Structure 1
Amino acid sequence: MPAQGLVNKVMELLMSKRMRQIESFMQSPIETQENVLFDILSHARNTEYGKLYGFNDINHYETFQNQVPIVTYEEFEPFIEKARKGGENISWHGKIKWFAKSSGTTNAKSKFIPISEESLENGHYAAGKMMFALYLNNHPETQIFKNKNLRLGGSSEIYQKYETLFGDLSAILIDNLPFYAELRNTPNKQISLMSEWETKMKAIADAVIKEDIGCLTGVPSWMLVLLNYVLNQTGKTHLDEIWTDLEVFFHGGISFKPYEENYRLLTQKPLNFYEIYNASEGFFGIQDQKDSKDLLLLLDNGIYYEFIPMSEFGSSNAKAIPLQEVEIGKNYAMVISTNGGLWRYLIGDTVKFTSKSPYRILVTGRTKHYINAFGEELIIENAEEGLKRACQKTGAIIKEFTAAPIFMSGNEKGAHEWLIEFEKRPENPEEFAEILDKTLQELNSDYEAKRYKNITLNRLKLNIAKENLFFNWMKERGKLGGQNKVPRLANTREFLEPLLQMNQ
């Protein structure tokens, strides 16, 4: 048997446990979720939060639904702060050592998400193994297991005020990896956990150029910056001139749509793209099919899911429903209870189901990451599809973008204002803007209604950003690095205005 065949045979044996786990929850999704709920409740019944909301008395989902409130981060923060200060048995059994720091995407306030040992081992790490198991299942001839994984993570810091530690989620995952897993990743832990982005980028490039890289994992925007830097440093045109066995990019954190064409130009032979859906709060979904971007919802890694229909979100009668009550094609706000001690927590993401057998989803946006200044309810999914079509029809390639409302003033009607940094500019920006505007009307009936004969909204306004505008803006805000994201859509002009000023 060839060496590669032997490697894959060994990996099949190692990954078989994960495939059995996946097949089990695909076949029995509702039973699996019920088991998860009562398992995590049992682990937290004697905590401060568990006693407050009577976890010991919960024997049915309906009791859980009625007794435990749905909370935002701000509402749950007092319990997190107690745990960060070293408190034990606050919302999860024992003492939480690690907290994932996230600045969020809609405001600058830092969030600290508790990371328990269970959420590390049975959540994030188990899901990572599922990711590789699914890829091997789809590509039995893969060579990624004989080569290294180029990972792009965040910085790590120790919070000095309290005994507990915090850092980017990626840093926490890297810092706690067992030594045998660390051997297959590059760059090493010391470089991966460097704080200063530009120094780190050079160190990573120096470390990985001579490695045999088979796969990439990271956030598309920052990975693209790194890969372009590597090409510049080596004088090569394509990545497969440097890494001949490069075959897949596992990406997550932000939508891949605006970046896909950029990545396709980076290699001569086709590169596989697999999306993952993970966050500080948990690992939720993995692309499990070669030819579909739908994400398999992970039902057996310590997370219990509920969903609020976006048509009701924010209203006084809004109610979360369990998995068995969701409908295909509807937009939902996701609510999670986890083995990290989060309870009926509004993560802020919106999803829609594309399948119920098995349960597959698409991430459609953020509960706070949309434009609805005029009742148009434009979500990120609409924006990304509109940009994709405008690029296809004009030959443009987008690097970064953001959009916000132009509010009505006097007799002047409202509009949406876009700021786009292009990798390749359209020859006719007005044509690009027209295509984008018309596509948004096709995709979103509320936007179409507001645009009808310019009754409420004028046609969108397009601004073209200077080269590296978004990079420089993020740098100025101290937000460089893989865990920080450019705000795409906002209901205010808080992000757009400073960018426009820098663009003058």
Structure 2
Amino acid sequence: MSLKSFFAIPFAKIATRNVYKWANKPHKTQEKVFKNLIKIGKKTAFGKDHDFKNISNYQDFKNRVKVQDYEGLRAYVDRIVAGESDVLWEGKPLYFAKTSGTTSGAKYIPITKASMPTHIKAARNALLFYIAEKNDASFVDGKMIFLQGSPVLQDKNGIKLGRLSGIVAHYVPQYLLKNRLPSWKTNCIEDWDTKVNAIVEETINEDMSVISGIPSWVQMYFEKLIEKTGKKISEIFPNFNFFIYGGVNFEPYKNKFETLIGKKIDYIELYPASEGFIAYQDSQKAKGMLLQLDSGIFYEFIPASEFFDENPTRISLKDVKVGINYVIILNTTAGLWGYNIGDTVEFTSTKPYRIKVTGRIKHFISAFGEHVIGKEVEKALNDAIQGTDINISEFTVAPQVNPKSGLPYHEWFIEFENEPKKLEEFALKVDTSMQEQNIYYFDLIEGKILRPLVIRKVKKGGFHAYMKSIGKFGGQNKIPQLSDNRKIADVLENFLVD
């Protein structure tokens, strides 16, 4: 055991105790964050335009600040991009995290001097919680890899611009730099295929202990390693015992991962976003991720079932309930106000407040009034593969409103690693789970408005080929797991098994 791993255990226990101090005082913590946001926000152009000086409580805030997405704040962001100070937050941002939007084109999400440290601290604390719970920090002596975007940053009127993961790469603690892979040179490679091949070469003979990234892209890395060596990941990296991920529900991918790895391992789920680091898994035993209440974010929630109503219910943390699907709204020290990031979450616990991500409010299917959401399709797929050797690489779901014959249906595009022996029986299991979860879907099937779902087999590598075809092949891009239109489905028709 090195000195680094020896001292990591007591440090982790102190850090986790400090986290639970605010986690056990959730409403007081959020009230403190709210007051600080308003105090600083009133000095900004946004605060002056929205009468922050007369806000003394949450109701005052709701009366003055509407819920909005990037387009709602775009006029203010454009002023910051043009070089103006004190627009959404005091001074100028340190960075813009560049993301792609469906309606806005490129989005420039500000990261400020106040918000940047919360991204780093939350990621660090996720590892410290794991160390404290396991009473083991031996992994810090091995090599660690974080599959991420290029750390090369551009300049936008004096403000650095890049992907969030590339920005964060500049903040790796000094004590981890010797353990961190890939090399800076490899990390700067833009072409994803070339980059993963280079990462394979750099890591194949190393003692990898921690691997992190979006599951579908880490899976690609694992497959290339196996193709090159003919060995399982656990044979290549015998000290690799846990995987860190975020961005998607991991359950549908878990069977495939454990087959590639060759043994069961632990998992740490993170919920980072360009807009703020929202939550992380604080226990291997409890469900959900600990909501970050002291990270400069004041949270609001709107029941997803009401979100598109004219006057939806809008509540703070103290009024949320376990098991309700909410759209999460952020107010942050980066100057995002009433900001809808588009995600839906569900509380798994209120003591402390833990959440799980259930999908995207724009990613749903309701072509016939069925209101199907991401959580339901993920659970249906997971129900169908439980207890089997079926492995799934990737999937997405879309409505087929105008079939060539017969009733309309939901069309599931699935890339199998190990496919079911009887596809029709597998489809029936998935459909049964959907009907059990969603009464609207059940009624439409029973009423002969829809017929049971249909599964289309995508060729191996088909989803990667699809992402390449639309110019979004890379570690930070994810395929929506369901959509209310045929935009993705129609292109995927070109990548089906004949």
Specify the TM-score bucket, using the shorter chain as the normaliser: over 0.9
Corresponding residue number in structure 2 for 1:76:
73
* CA distance in structure 1 between the aligned counterparts of 2:91 and 2:177, rounded to whole angstroms: 28
Any conservation in 1 of the 2:466–2:492 contact (CA below 8 Å)?
Answer: yes
Q: Superposition pairs for residues 42-441 of structure 1, below 5 Å?
A: 42-104=39-101, 109-121=105-117, 123-159=118-154, 162-233=157-228, 235-392=229-386, 395-407=389-401, 413-441=407-435
Indicate how the Cα distance of structure 1 residues 45 and 428 shifts in structure 2: closer, same or farther if over 3 A, else same: same
Q: Secondary structure at the match of 1:194?
A: coil
Equivalent position amino acid for 1:99 in 2? F
Query: SS at the partner of 1:264?
Result: helix
- Which range moves more in the overlay, 488-497 or 76-85? 76-85
Residue by residue over 1:257-295, the C-alpha shift from the partner in whole angstroms, topping out at 9 and shown as x without a partner, is 121111111334421111111111111111122134411
Distance 1:107 1:424 in 2: 37
- Name the counterpart of 1:486: 479
Cα distance, 1:301–1:241 mapped onto 2, change above 3 Å: same
Are 2:435 and 1:465 equivalent residues in the alignment? no
Counterpart CA distance in 2 for 1:445 and 1:107 is 32
- Determine if contact 2:13/2:132 at 8 Å carries over to the other structure: no
| 1:30 to partner: Cα distance | 0.3
**Inter-partner Cα distance in structure 2 for 1:260 and 1:290:** 15
Output the CA distance in 1 between the equivalents of 2:327 and 2:359.
9
DSSP 3-state at the match of 2:487: coil
The code of the aligned residue for 2:138 comes to Q
Residues 265 and 441 of structure 1, relative CA distance in 2, 3 Å threshold: same
Query: 1:394 deviation in Å?
Result: 5.2
Residue 262 to residue 397, structure 1, CA distance change in 2 (3 Å): same
Query: For 1:18 and 1:476, how far apart are their aligned partners in 2?
Result: 45
Structure 2 CA distance, aligned partners of 1:115 and 1:338? Answer: 10
Partner-residue secondary structure (3-state), 1:118: coil
| Structure 1 residue 500 corresponds to structure 2 residue 493 | yes
Between the aligned partners of 1:160 and 1:25, the Cα distance in structure 2 is 37
2:30 match: 33
- Structure 1 SS opposite 2:249: coil
Distance 1:499 1:457 in 2: 22
Between 491-500 and 187-196, report the one with greater CA deviation: 187-196
1:52/1:17 CA distance change after superposition, 3 Å: farther
Secondary structure at 2:398's aligned position in 1? strand
SS of 1:317's equivalent in the other structure is coil
Q: Which amino acid aligns with 1:113?
A: I
Are the aligned partners of 1:191 and 1:200 in contact in 2 as well (CA < 8 Å)? yes
Q: Deviations over 1:16-35 (max 9, x none)?
A: 55313311122100000111
How far off is 1:409 after superposition?
A: 7.2
Q: Using the TM superposition, give the Cα deviation of residue 128 of structure 1 relative to its aligned residue in structure 2, in angstroms.
A: 0.9
SS in 1 for 2:78: helix
Does the Cα contact within 8 Å between 1:296 and 1:361 map onto a contact in 2? Answer: yes
Change (3 A) 1:322 1:252: same
Which shows bigger deviation, 390-399 or 203-212? 390-399
- Residue type at the aligned position of 1:212: D
Tell me the CA shift for residue 410 of structure 1.
11
| Structure 2 CA distance for aligned equivalents of residues 485 and 267 of structure 1 | 22
Contact 1:84 1:96 in 2 (8 A): no
Match of 2:7 in 1: 10
- Cα pair 2:458 2:495 within 8 Å, conserved: no
Kept in 2: contact 1:44–1:55 (CA 8 A): yes
Contact map agreement 1:15 1:129 (CA 8 A) in 2: no
Per-residue deviation, 1:178: 4.4
AA matched with 2:67: I
Give me the identity figure in percent.
35
**Do 1:294 and 1:361's aligned partners in 2 also have CA atoms closer than 8 Å?**
yes
Segments of structure 1 that go 5 or more residues without pairing to the other structure are: none
Kindly provide the amino acid, as one letter, of the partner of residue 65 in structure 2.
V
2-side partners of 1:328 and 1:25: how far apart?
20
SS in 1 for 2:224: helix
Distance 1:158 1:288 in 2: 32
Equivalent-residue separation in structure 2 for 1:467 and 1:321 (angstroms): 45
Deviation at 1:240, TM superposition (A): 2.2
Q: Secondary structure at the match of 1:275?
A: strand
Distance in 1, matches of 2:51 and 2:193, equals: 50
Alpha-carbon distance in 2 for matches of 1:77, 1:43: 20
Paired with 1:496 and 1:37, the residues of 2 have a C-alpha distance of 43
Q: Distance in 2 between matches of 1:117 and 1:245?
A: 37
Q: What CA distance in whole angstroms lies between the structure 2 residues aligned with 1:88 and 1:400? A: 44
Cα deviation, 1:97-133, whole Å, max 9, x if unaligned, reads: 31112225x6683322111122211x11010121011
2:70–2:104 Cα contact (<8 Å) kept = no
Q: Say whether the 8 Å CA contact 1:182–1:188 is kept in structure 2.
A: no
Deviations 1:31-80 (A, max 9, x none): 00111111222233211111111223222122112111211111111211
The question of whether the paired residues in 1 share the 8 Å contact of 2:153 and 2:167 is answered with no
Distance 2:378 2:195 in 1: 30
Confirm or deny: 8 A CA contact 1:421 1:467 kept in the other structure: yes
TM-score, length-normalised on structure 2? 0.95
Are the equivalent residues in 2 in contact too, given 1:213–1:246 (CA < 8 A)? yes
* DSSP 3-state at the match of 1:59: coil
- Contact 1:320–1:335 (Cα < 8 Å) also in 2: no
Greater shift in the superposed pair: 244-253 or 53-62: 53-62
Normalised to the residue count of structure 1, the TM-score between the two structures is 0.94
1:412 deviation in Å? 5.2
Is this contact kept in 2: 1:382–1:440, CA < 8 A?
A: yes
CA contact (8 A) 1:97 1:165 kept: yes
Tell me which amino acid in the other structure corresponds to 1:151: F
Q: How many Å apart are 1:322 and its aligned residue?
A: 0.3
Which amino acid is 2:128 matched to?
A
Q: Relative to structure 2, which stretch is displaced further, 128-137 or 264-273?
A: 264-273
